[in-house]
């Protein structure tokens, strides 16, 4: 959830207002950006945050009563621009892993005060907004060269180490966006599907979730192998039919029509098998997606 700062007026994620207490956490009347300015939460009243703190049995740092709403960022349009940028930053692990929170706050303060002639713009690429604020982030962290990729493929014999199907995607065990680790011992081979599903998921969590669907993985290997064989057979029959049409010099012929009929039956069988295969693939993907979402919710430093 988002709360509004009584000083700058920005609506930000609740963790920007939360701090540790002796027993229970505390909520401040102002955000961490304004705290970086040297402002004191005790000088600002924020009735909404005070009410939340009371309901959650949290401490409250701020004046009692209702705030004056004399915000540092005057215009609503400007506030929305800053809010959108902060939301982008808070959800981007690559950027937050390279830029210290204090450095970010100082850049926002300079922008708000007009000391920096730039305001983050909605609809602009996140990287351009960062650059406009004088913040540098390297988004090109995957620096594995062709030779090392081929080494990994040869090492694992072109087999995905997660599901067991054929694969060519060189995957970082610990996501490179977080670890910045391109060493060979952080590389493993996967199929494109597993690589996409894993994305920035921690390696240990992905392996844990993957062990829970070992039987599904074995089924996927069998389905994949069967479909490859059947599709090769269908392609062979299609080429044979094309050759016969060329030799006979006709398109409509009883023998050719019989071949087409058999090819249609084979194609229908392949389509049916592929439908079953896709259902298992989607079921497995949902398993990983749900597991990752649950892990993120448990990890999230929310207001409660």
Same domain, 109 and 42: no
160 vs 179, 207, 225, 283, CA distance in Å?
22, 13, 14, 19
Q: What is the DSSP letter of 184?
A: G
Dihedral angle of Cα 236, 237, 242, 246, to the nearest 10 degrees: 100
Residue 9 domain flag:
yes
Same-domain check for residues 295 and 220: yes
User: Is position 209 within any domain?
Assistant: no
Residue 70 lies in a domain: no
Same domain as 166, residue 118: no
Do 52 and 106 lie in one domain? The reply is no
**Between the CA atoms of 263, 268, 274 and 275, what dihedral angle is there, to the nearest 10 degrees?**
170
The total of structural domains in the chain comes to 4
Q: Closest by alpha carbon to 263, among 244, 289, 286?
A: 244
In terms of residue numbers, what domain contains 152? 146-199
Kindly state the percentage of the chain with pLDDT values over 90: 79
User: C-alpha 178: how far from its chain's center?
Assistant: 12
SS3 at position 193? helix
Per-residue pLDDT reduced to its tens digit, 189-224: 999 999 999 988 999 999 999 999 999 999 999 999
59 forms beta bridges with: 26
Long-range CB contacts for residues 59-67, cutoff 8 Å, separation at least 24: 59/21, 59/24, 59/25, 59/26, 59/27, 60/26, 60/27, 60/29, 61/19, 61/26, 61/27, 61/28, 61/29, 62/6, 62/28, 62/29, 62/30, 63/29, 67/6, 67/29
**Candidate from 57-61, 140-144, 204-208, 262-266 with smallest mean pLDDT:** 140-144
pLDDT given at position 142: 72
Average pLDDT over residues 51-73: 93
Considering the domain architecture, whether residues 109 and 163 belong to the same structural domain is answered as: no
Q: Is 164 part of any domain?
A: yes
User: Is residue 104 included in any domain, yes or no?
Assistant: yes
Identify whether residues 106 and 180 lie together within a single domain.
Answer: no
pLDDT of 303 reads: 67
Regarding whether 111 and 150 lie in a shared domain, the answer is no
Averaged pLDDT of the chain: 92
User: Is the model more confident about 94 or about 247?
Assistant: 247
Mean of the pLDDT values across residues 129-143?
87
Say whether both 221 and 294 belong to one domain.
Answer: yes
Q: What is the mean pLDDT of residues 120-134?
A: 92
Question: Residues 175, 226: one domain?
Answer: no
CA 33 to chain centre: 26
Of 9, 38, 14, the residue nearest 28 (C-alpha): 14
Q: 209 Cβ partners below 8 Å, 6+ apart?
A: 287, 288, 291, 292
Together in a domain, 225 and 191:
no
More confident residue, 177 or 254: 254
pLDDT band at residue 53 under the 50/70/90 scheme:
very high
Does the pLDDT value for residue 7 go beyond 90? yes
SS percent in the chain: helix, strand, coil, step 5: 55, 10, 35
The verdict on 82 and 45 lying in the same domain is no
Contact 153, 134 (CB under 8 A): no
Task: State the residue for tokens 């303060």.
Answer: 109
d(CA 136, CA 154): 37
Burial 203-218 (b: 16+ CB within 10 A, else e): beebeebbeebeebbe
Token output for 86? 């902060």
71 in any annotated domain: no
Q: In this structure, is residue 35 part of a structural domain?
A: yes
The answer to whether residue 265 is domain-embedded is yes
Same domain, 90 and 159: no
Can you point out the beta strands (E) in 114-198?
169-172, 187-190
The residue from 35, 61, 87 where one domain ends is 61
Q: Choose among 41, 56, 50: nearest CA to 8.
A: 41
């Amino acid at each position: 959830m988002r709360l509004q700062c009584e000083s700058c007026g920005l609506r930000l994620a609740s963790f920007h207002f939360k701090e540790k207490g002796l027993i229970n956490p505390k909520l401040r009347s102002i955000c961490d950006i304004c705290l970086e300015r040297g402002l004191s939460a005790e000088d600002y009243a924020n009735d909404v945050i005070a009410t939340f703190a009371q309901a959650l049995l949290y401490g409250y740092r701020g004046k009692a009563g209702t705030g004056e709403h004399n915000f540092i960022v005057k215009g609503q349009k400007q506030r929305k621009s800053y809010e959108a940028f902060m939301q982008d930053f808070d959800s981007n692990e690559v950027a937050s892993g390279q830029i210290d929170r204090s450095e970010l706050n100082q850049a926002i303060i300079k922008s708000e005060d007009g000391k920096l002639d730039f305001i983050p713009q909605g609809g602009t690429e996140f990287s351009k907004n960062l650059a406009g604020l004088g913040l540098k982030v390297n988004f090109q962290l995957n620096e594995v060269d062709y030779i090392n990729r081929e080494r990994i493929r040869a090492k694992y014999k072109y087999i995905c180490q997660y599901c067991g199907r054929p694969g060519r995607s060189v995957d970082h065990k610990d996501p490179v966006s977080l670890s910045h680790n391109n060493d060979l011992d952080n590389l493993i081979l996967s199929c494109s599907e597993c690589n996409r599903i894993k994305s920035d998921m921690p390696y240990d969590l992905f392996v844990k979730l993957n062990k829970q669907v070992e039987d599904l993985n074995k089924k996927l290997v069998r389905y994949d192998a069967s479909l490859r064989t059947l599709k090769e057979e269908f392609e062979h029959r299609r080429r044979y039919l094309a050759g016969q049409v060329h030799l006979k010099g006709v398109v409509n012929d009883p023998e050719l029509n019989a071949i087409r009929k058999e090819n249609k039956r084979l194609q229908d069988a392949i389509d049916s098998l592929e439908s079953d295969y896709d259902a298992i693939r989607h079921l497995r993907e949902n398993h990983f997606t749900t597991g990752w979402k649950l892990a993120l919710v448990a990890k999230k430093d929310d207001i409660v």
